[in-house]
């Protein structure tokens, strides 16, 4: 096992952000791999990702290559499926070598018992989205979508995406409050839980809940370029990438 901190980021939305932002993110990946023991990308790495049997979405080759090199160097890389890229699987795991999580997972990170989830469908509200989420993630829907031409599937995904690299997402603040309440509730209900980490809202946050127990939202790379560092014995640390760390 490698030593060093755990690095986390989320909501990069590759395919929507600029090429310059993608290059900045790759530099951060290289920095995190050189200085950390584990790398976690907590959902929506891609603005759209769907794995056909023999086809993968165009446009992410440099990031995928960087992730493959990081895995080959012995760094554990985890990808959590988000509401834009939950349909990852065999290509990412077998070809790139990452560990892909489709649902919330409990892990020990830097000595803290941690609940990790992207955040979509959690908390109060979003009833319409929750129903749509069940439909979109159903086996029959995924089977049918694979029969669409990839260009048509990608066009449909672009049409429904609300990611705007120049403006905050609608309802961000309300969703952020709902997810913080959800995290607080889970920490209150489970005394063995030290840390809840979410993304999805694009609003970075580190909140102490009680004594040395934490809710963390990793923010995004669409507007903020934020990431989180976890080190044993230290409080979770939020940082913003400026290329000079």
Ordered domains of the chain (ranges, CATH):
6-240 (3.60.21.10)
Half-sphere exposure of 49 (CA within 13 A, CB side): 28
In the chain, pLDDT over 90 holds for what percent of residues?
A: 63
Q: How far apart are the first and last CA of the chain?
A: 24
3-class SS at 83? coil
Residue 190 in this model has a pLDDT that exceeds 90? yes
Alpha helices in the chain (DSSP H): 19-35, 61-72, 90, 127-136, 139-145, 150-160, 172-189
Residue 37 in this model has a pLDDT that exceeds 60? yes
129-144: pLDDT as tens digits: 555 566 566 677 666 6
Distance of alpha carbon 20 from alpha carbon 171, whole angstroms: 27
Residue 128 in this model has a pLDDT that exceeds 60? no
The pLDDT of 106-112, averaged and rounded, is 96
Predicted local distance difference test score (pLDDT) of residue 159 = 67
Residue 120 in this model has a pLDDT that exceeds 70? yes
Predicted local distance difference test score (pLDDT) of residue 161 = 62
87 touches 50 (CB < 8 A):
yes
Choose between 162 and 202: higher pLDDT: 202
Predicted confidence band of residue 1 (pLDDT cuts 50, 70, 90): low
3-class SS at 10? coil
65-83: pLDDT as tens digits: 999 999 999 999 999 998 8
Predicted TM-score of the model (pTM): 0.88
| Least-confidence region, from 107-116, 124-133, 210-219, 230-239 | 124-133
Select from 79, 8, 71 the least CA-distant residue to 43: 79
9 touches 45 (CB < 8 A):
no
Residue 218 in this model has a pLDDT that exceeds 90? yes
| Mean pLDDT, all residues of the chain | 87
Tokens of 175: 């969703």
Choose between 241 and 155: higher pLDDT: 241
Tokens of 178: 């709902």
């Amino acid at each position: 096992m490698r030593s060093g901190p755990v690095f986390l980021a989320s909501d990069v939305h590759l395919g929507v952000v600029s090429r310059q932002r993608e290059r900045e993110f790759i530099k951060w990946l290289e920095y995190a791999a050189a200085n950390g023991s584990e790398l976690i990308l907590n959902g929506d790495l891609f603005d759209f990702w769907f794995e056909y049997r023999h086809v993968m979405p165009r446009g992410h080759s440099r990031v995928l290559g960087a992730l493959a090199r990081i895995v080959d160097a012995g760094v554990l890389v985890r990808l959590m499926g988000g509401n834009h890229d939950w349909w990852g699987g065999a290509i990412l795991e077998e070809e790139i070598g990452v560990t892909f999580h489709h649902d919330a997972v409990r892990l020990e990170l830097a000595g803290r018992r941690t609940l990790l989830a992207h955040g979509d469908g959690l908390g109060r509200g979003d009833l319409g989205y929750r129903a749509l989420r069940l439909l979109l993630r159903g086996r029959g829907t995924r089977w049918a979508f694979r029969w669409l031409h990839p260009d048509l599937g990608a066009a449909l995904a672009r049409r429904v995406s609300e990611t705007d690299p120049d403006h905050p997402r609608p309802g961000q603040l309300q969703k952020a409050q709902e997810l913080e309440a959800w995290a607080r509730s889970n920490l209150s209900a489970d005394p063995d839980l030290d840390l809840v980490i979410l993304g999805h809202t694009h609003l970075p946050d580190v909140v102490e809940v009680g004594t040395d127990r934490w809710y963390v939202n990793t923010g995004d790379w669409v507007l903020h370029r934020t990431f989180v560092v976890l080190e044993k014995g230290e409080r979770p640390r939020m940082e913003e990438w400026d290329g000079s760390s």
